[in-house]
Structure 1
Amino acid sequence: MAQKIAGREKAPKGAVMQIPKEVLTGALRRESVKKNVAAIHVSGKLTLLQRKLSNVLLLNAYDHLITRPKHSIDARTLCLMVGYNSNDMETLKASLRSLAETVAEWDMLDQKGRQEWGVSSLLSYAKLAGGICEYAYSPALAEKLHDPKVFALINLNIQRRFTSGHALALYENCFRFVRTGSTGWWPIEIFRRLMGVDDSAYYENFKQLNAKIIKPAVAEVNRNSNILVEPEFRKMGRAVTEIRFLIKENPQLAMFEIDDGEAVRSSRTYQRLIAIGVGDRLARQWIAEHGEAYVGEKLDYVAGQGGVTSPVRYLSAALRDDYGAAADPVPSPEAVEALTRRKEAEDAQARAEALREAAISAERRERAERMAKVRAVAESRNPTQRDADRRLFLRQLEGDLEREDFARHGWASALNARAIFAFWEELEPGLFSGTDQPGLR
């Protein structure tokens, strides 16, 4: 979705589905002929998984946003789609609570051209009962979310590729402008709000904002999504005051585009999906992703099982894990091709995740060993030396965020780990011999 609602992030494993993204945190201003501002801001800090959860909920409800007062989805299926453990209801509860506590604020022109301001909680309520997640949006917010000028369909396969909440927030805010080629100019304070760092003094410094938020987010969007973005800046004197993003389609990821025409809806496979309760967007997405033949085969498989209480969830698993493949000695060429593409993509993702997790695990072990050495040598010094060490190190820290973290955690400050290691390496040469790892320096 190209607007924003919220506070967050394609990394975890979920069901292979796609979901339009909601309007997560966004102040999107753009001028065109007689139309004007369409801005939805969201207060609150949502994690990457919570941001994805809000998108899945919106996808599930989108077709009936303004015709039904409440919506429901199987709780375990919801967990799988977002990337939670399917039995992790406590995490799901905490995330739903965060969405209900998040405030969405809009400021735009209504249908008669009059300025309209409004505010609403992102979810008016949510509850879990009997394995079902039931939730609702306020009528006013539902109307805004359903407006095609505000809402843009975002593919879940693309969402799942993101590992950073800031990158996902940037993507959501830029995607709706892909046809116009630019977001238009945003004041820096608005951009900071869209990224969820508006209450951080650390990111009031544009150098830090650019290095830690803008550059990494742009790199991830360009690497993992179907658009390419390029930031441009405006200055007043030496200070950067506004930012905009130039946007174009990423030809390398065109495979993620979904046919939104009537051809798919007229197919027999689509009609069968709708008949068992699959929503319009999900039905078209599964067909686009797997091919009609493969989806049709899995529909036949599910229909032949008998006693299936949740055919949509069962079909989702059948598509993901290729149920019934062993019983079909002569699969169709289309099914073989679709399965091969899917498995190649999953294997590549699994290898990349394994390598990333191994690297993270090794770095964490190395960091823990170094922290233990720092703690030991710091505690071995007398009280006067300890006080002098802390004061000397504090003088070397430039940012308020770093100083606050060190004041709270001392030599165990993870935010200052690299600086701490460098400080003690200089103070006690050879302290870390045998635990050298360039990534920690």
Structure 2
Amino acid sequence: MQIVHSKPKQPLSLLQRKLGNAWAKHAIEHSPDEQGWWTLRIRDLAQDVGFDSNNRQYLKESAEALMRIVFEWDVIATSPKRPWKASVMFPEVEIHADVIRYQISSQLRQLIVKPEIYALIDMNVVRRFRRASSLAIWEFCVRFEKIGHTAEVPWEEFRDMILGETAEAKTYQEYKYFKAKVLKPAIAEVNAESSLRIELVEAKVGKRVVALRFQLEKKAEVQPAVEDGKVLEMIGEMVNLGLLQSEARRLAKEHGLEELRAALEYTRRRMTDSRAGKLDNPAAYFRHALQHRYAMPVAEAQPAPAPKVDLRQAYLESQLGEAERYFKELDAEDQAALVERYNAQAIAPLRLKKRATKVAEAGFRRWLVQDTWGEPTAEDLLDFAQRMLAAKS
């Protein structure tokens, strides 16, 4: 099997690496339009890479920087007859109101869109990494997952693959410093955050390290040791917090129920803490709490204060009737397309069928609200709060 590896001529930030992975994954799973453009909703992209979708300037700057970076490809190929390739991977990018459009280099497109050549990337894993070097090493290793070990690469070549051919990379002229400052912390993060367990293997000439490779082991998948009803209930609680059903389903597979419950309780306590101010994004806070395994200290495990109105949740609930009216006004063909999209990301008990349950119908309406109108803005919530106060008075 041909394996494609790249070496950037400039360093890639963590967000730039995540963007590149998200765009490549989207290109594998979807076809471009007739002009060779892929289109991805910014909200979905933000979910994939874990950034604030409202920070368009940050997204624009990262995309622009990624467009300027030249990659060498197949840098560890052993055949002298294989052609050398260098290119900007994403030469054209456009950002519109709610979507981002991009093209892939013509000479690399056929390589990128083949899953057997460019490894399928699990964005749930990508999102967790906090070091660009960790993500780069994981990208390198995951392509050899079925083999059980990576190719052996001269350590200087591997350094440049991870850090780019930059002054920063050249500061690690001695292997021991590169190992201590880059390899060790990155390996630790890969082992902690991904489904792979990797072990560094050094090739030496005498006492001098000349090359390295990694031994790979697939971790056993964590399955919730609880009955289906409790798992479904937890998924529902995560969805109510603002997570998409597909993400909530993945988290339920990857984490134990107690771990999820601890992060959920930690988030809810923060949401009801008036001293800390309003929590703008409970879903993001929950992900952060789960990733870092936050939990309330035992000493603080006391009855929670009286629940306060969750303005965002109340707003979304108020939109359910409007979503139902909107859906009924659509043509049957458009209705069927929406139901098909919903069922594709819903867990089995929540999928709409001819004789749908009330739970499935409620799940569909909640999904339709967010799919149609997206997350409420601060202005939406303010206007809704004012209307609530006016109605009470």
Query: Would you say same fold, with TM above 0.5?
Result: yes
Q: CA deviation at 1:312?
A: 10
Residue 214 of structure 2 is matched in structure 1 by: 245
Structure 1: distance between partners of 2:117 and 2:28 = 13
Counterparts in 2 of 1:223 and 1:298: CA distance versus 1, 3 Å: farther
Q: CA deviation at 1:203?
A: 1.4
One of 187, 191, 194 as aligned partner of 2:161: 194
Structure 1 stretch displaced more, 144-153 or 67-76: 67-76
Structure 1 stretch displaced more, 58-67 or 305-314: 305-314
Paired residues in the alignment total 260
Residue 181 of structure 2 is matched in structure 1 by: 212
Amino acid paired to 2:193: N
Residue 136 of structure 1 is matched in structure 2 by: 103
Matched, 1:51 2:20: no
Q: CA deviation at 1:73?
A: 1.8
Structure 1: distance between partners of 2:160 and 2:339 = 38
Matched, 1:170 2:137: yes
1:2-54 CA distance string (max 9 Å, x none): xxxxxxxxxxxxxxxxxxxxxxxxxxxxxxxxx56643333322211221122
Counterparts in 2 of 1:225 and 1:305: CA distance versus 1, 3 Å: closer
**1:9-408 equivalences in 2 (<5 Å):** 38-64=4-30, 68=34, 69-107=36-74, 115-196=82-163, 198-199=165-166, 200=168, 201-251=170-220, 253=222, 275-276=337-338, 286=345, 291-294=347-350, 296=352, 300-301=361-362, 304=365, 310-311=371-372
Q: Verify the 8 A CA contact 1:53 1:82 in the aligned structure 2.
A: yes
**What is the root-mean-square deviation of aligned Cα atoms in Å?**
3.8
TM score, norm. by length of structure 1: 0.51
Structure 1: distance between partners of 2:58 and 2:11 = 16
1:56-90 CA distance string (max 9 Å, x none): 22222223457750011222442343222221110
Q: Verify the 8 A CA contact 1:174 1:183 in the aligned structure 2.
A: yes
Residue 343 of structure 1 is matched in structure 2 by: none
Q: Verify the 8 A CA contact 2:133 2:186 in the aligned structure 1.
A: yes
Structure 2: distance between partners of 1:216 and 1:243 = 16
Q: Which has the higher contact order (CA 8 A, sep 6+)?
A: 1
Amino acid paired to 1:219: A
Q: CA deviation at 1:187?
A: 0.8
Q: CA deviation at 1:277?
A: 10
Structure 2: where are the runs of 5+ without partners?
A: 225-249, 254-333, 353-357, 376-393
TM score, norm. by length of structure 2: 0.57
Amino acid paired to 1:243: L
User: Which structure's CA Rg is the greater one?
Assistant: 1
Structure 2: distance between partners of 1:238 and 1:222 = 27
Counterparts in 2 of 1:163 and 1:48: CA distance versus 1, 3 Å: same
Q: Verify the 8 A CA contact 1:100 1:124 in the aligned structure 2.
A: yes
Counterparts in 2 of 1:188 and 1:306: CA distance versus 1, 3 Å: closer
Q: CA deviation at 1:246?
A: 0.5
Residue 263 of structure 1 is matched in structure 2 by: none
Structure 1: where are the runs of 5+ without partners?
A: 1-34, 260-271, 315-441
